[in-house]
Amino acid sequence: MKKIEAIIKPFKVDEVKEALDKIGCHGMTVTEVKGYGRQKGHMETYRGVEYQVVFNPKAKVEVIVADKLVKDVLAAIQKTANTGSIGDGKIFVTPIEEVMRIRTGETGEAAI
Protein backbone atom coordinates (compact mmCIF):
# COMPACT_ATOMS: atom_id res chain seq x y z
CA MET A 1 0.00 0.00 0.00
CA LYS A 2 1.11 3.51 -0.69
CA LYS A 3 0.15 6.96 0.51
CA ILE A 4 -0.06 9.50 -2.30
CA GLU A 5 0.10 13.14 -1.20
CA ALA A 6 -0.55 15.74 -3.87
CA ILE A 7 -0.05 19.46 -3.28
CA ILE A 8 -2.24 21.06 -5.93
CA LYS A 9 -3.96 24.31 -6.81
CA PRO A 10 -7.07 24.61 -4.63
CA PHE A 11 -9.48 25.06 -7.54
CA LYS A 12 -8.31 21.72 -9.01
CA VAL A 13 -9.55 19.62 -6.08
CA ASP A 14 -12.94 18.82 -7.61
CA GLU A 15 -11.48 17.71 -10.93
CA VAL A 16 -8.90 15.50 -9.23
CA LYS A 17 -11.56 13.92 -7.06
CA GLU A 18 -13.74 13.06 -10.08
CA ALA A 19 -10.80 11.57 -11.92
CA LEU A 20 -9.76 9.39 -8.97
CA ASP A 21 -13.33 8.27 -8.44
CA LYS A 22 -13.44 7.06 -12.05
CA ILE A 23 -10.36 4.84 -11.72
CA GLY A 24 -11.66 3.20 -8.54
CA CYS A 25 -9.87 5.18 -5.90
CA HIS A 26 -12.60 5.95 -3.38
CA GLY A 27 -11.99 8.21 -0.41
CA MET A 28 -9.52 11.00 0.15
CA THR A 29 -8.44 13.56 2.73
CA VAL A 30 -8.14 17.21 1.71
CA THR A 31 -6.39 19.91 3.73
CA GLU A 32 -5.94 23.61 3.04
CA VAL A 33 -2.23 24.34 3.24
CA LYS A 34 0.20 27.18 2.54
CA GLY A 35 3.69 26.95 1.24
CA TYR A 36 6.23 27.86 -1.38
CA GLY A 37 8.45 26.08 -3.86
CA ARG A 38 10.87 27.19 -6.53
CA GLN A 39 8.45 29.96 -7.49
CA LYS A 40 9.03 31.55 -4.02
CA GLY A 41 5.65 33.29 -3.72
CA HIS A 42 4.80 36.37 -5.74
CA MET A 43 4.85 40.18 -5.43
CA GLU A 44 1.85 42.39 -4.66
CA THR A 45 1.49 46.06 -3.74
CA TYR A 46 -0.46 47.36 -0.76
CA ARG A 47 -0.85 51.11 -0.27
CA GLY A 48 2.06 51.79 -2.60
CA VAL A 49 4.46 49.33 -0.94
CA GLU A 50 5.55 46.16 -2.73
CA TYR A 51 5.45 43.02 -0.65
CA GLN A 52 6.04 39.36 -1.21
CA VAL A 53 3.25 36.88 -0.69
CA VAL A 54 5.64 34.16 0.49
CA PHE A 55 3.23 31.35 1.23
CA ASN A 56 0.75 30.57 -1.50
CA PRO A 57 -2.48 28.81 -0.58
CA LYS A 58 -2.65 25.22 -1.87
CA ALA A 59 -4.72 22.13 -1.27
CA LYS A 60 -3.18 18.87 -0.06
CA VAL A 61 -4.94 15.74 -1.27
CA GLU A 62 -4.06 12.48 0.50
CA VAL A 63 -5.14 9.07 -0.72
CA ILE A 64 -4.10 5.58 0.40
CA VAL A 65 -4.16 3.06 -2.41
CA ALA A 66 -3.23 -0.53 -3.17
CA ASP A 67 0.14 -0.86 -4.92
CA LYS A 68 -1.45 -1.81 -8.25
CA LEU A 69 -3.35 1.48 -8.41
CA VAL A 70 -0.39 3.81 -7.78
CA LYS A 71 0.55 4.29 -11.41
CA ASP A 72 -3.01 5.14 -12.48
CA VAL A 73 -3.55 7.53 -9.59
CA LEU A 74 -0.32 9.39 -10.29
CA ALA A 75 -1.24 9.69 -13.93
CA ALA A 76 -4.77 10.85 -13.17
CA ILE A 77 -3.60 13.56 -10.75
CA GLN A 78 -0.82 14.68 -13.05
CA LYS A 79 -3.28 15.02 -15.89
CA THR A 80 -6.14 16.77 -14.10
CA ALA A 81 -4.20 19.07 -11.77
CA ASN A 82 -2.03 20.29 -14.61
CA THR A 83 -2.55 23.86 -15.85
CA GLY A 84 0.84 24.13 -17.50
CA SER A 85 1.81 27.19 -15.48
CA ILE A 86 4.11 27.50 -12.47
CA GLY A 87 2.71 26.57 -9.08
CA ASP A 88 0.88 23.42 -10.17
CA GLY A 89 2.36 21.53 -7.23
CA LYS A 90 3.95 18.16 -6.53
CA ILE A 91 3.04 14.58 -5.74
CA PHE A 92 4.74 12.48 -3.06
CA VAL A 93 4.48 8.71 -2.67
CA THR A 94 5.35 6.91 0.58
CA PRO A 95 4.89 3.30 1.69
CA ILE A 96 2.19 2.46 4.21
CA GLU A 97 2.77 -0.36 6.71
CA GLU A 98 -0.75 -1.04 7.86
CA VAL A 99 -4.32 0.22 7.62
CA MET A 100 -7.20 -0.60 9.96
CA ARG A 101 -10.89 0.24 9.59
CA ILE A 102 -11.99 1.35 13.04
CA ARG A 103 -15.61 0.12 12.86
CA THR A 104 -14.85 -3.49 11.90
CA GLY A 105 -11.21 -4.01 12.74
CA GLU A 106 -10.41 -5.14 9.16
CA THR A 107 -6.79 -4.64 8.14
CA GLY A 108 -4.71 -4.47 4.97
CA GLU A 109 -6.08 -3.63 1.52
CA ALA A 110 -9.58 -4.65 2.59
CA ALA A 111 -9.61 -1.70 4.96
CA ILE A 112 -8.82 0.91 2.30
Partner 1 sequence: MKRFIALALVLATVMILGAPLLALAQEAPAATAEAAAAPALVPDPSGTAIGGISDIVGGSPNAPTKEEVEKMAADKDAMLTKVADVAGHNKIAINMSWTLVCGFLVMFMQVGFALCETGFTRAKNASHTMAMNIMVYGIGLLGYWICGYALQMGGGGGSATLGGTMGLLNNEFTINLFGKDFGLFGLKGFFLTGDSYDVSIAALFLFQMVFMDTAATIPTGAMAERWSFKSFLLYGFFMSGIAYPLYANWLWGGGWLSQLGANFGLGHGTLDFAGSSVVHMTGGVAALAGAWMLGPRIGKYKPDGTPNAIPGHHIPMAVTGVLILAFGWFGFNTGSTLAGTDLRIGMIATNTMLASAAGAVSAMCYMMFIYGKPDLSMSANGLLAGLVAITAPCAYVTPTSAVIIGLISGVLLCLSVFFVDQTLKVDDPVGAISVHGTNGAWGLLALGIFADGSYNEGINGVAGTVKGLLYGDGGQFIAQCIGVVTCFVFVFCAFVIYFKIMNNFVPMRVSAEIEQDGLDLHEVGVLAYPDFNLNKTHR
Q: What residue ranges bind partner 1 (CB under 8 A)?
A: 44-51
> Which residue, 49 or 102, is less far from partner 1 as judged by CB?
49
**Contact status, residue 80 vs residue 15, Cβ threshold 8 Å:** yes
**Contact status, residue 112 vs residue 18, Cβ threshold 8 Å:** no
- State the nearest-atom distance from the C-beta of 13 to partner 1, in Å: 21
> Which residue, 19 or 59, is less far from partner 1 as judged by CB?
59
Following CA atoms 35, 41, 45, 49 in sequence, which dihedral angle do they give, to the nearest 10 degrees? 90
- State the nearest-atom distance from the C-beta of 55 to partner 1, in Å: 9
- State the nearest-atom distance from the C-beta of 44 to partner 1, in Å: 8
**Contact status, residue 56 vs residue 86, Cβ threshold 8 Å:** no
> Which residue, 31 or 78, is less far from partner 1 as judged by CB?
31
* DSSP character at residue 87: T
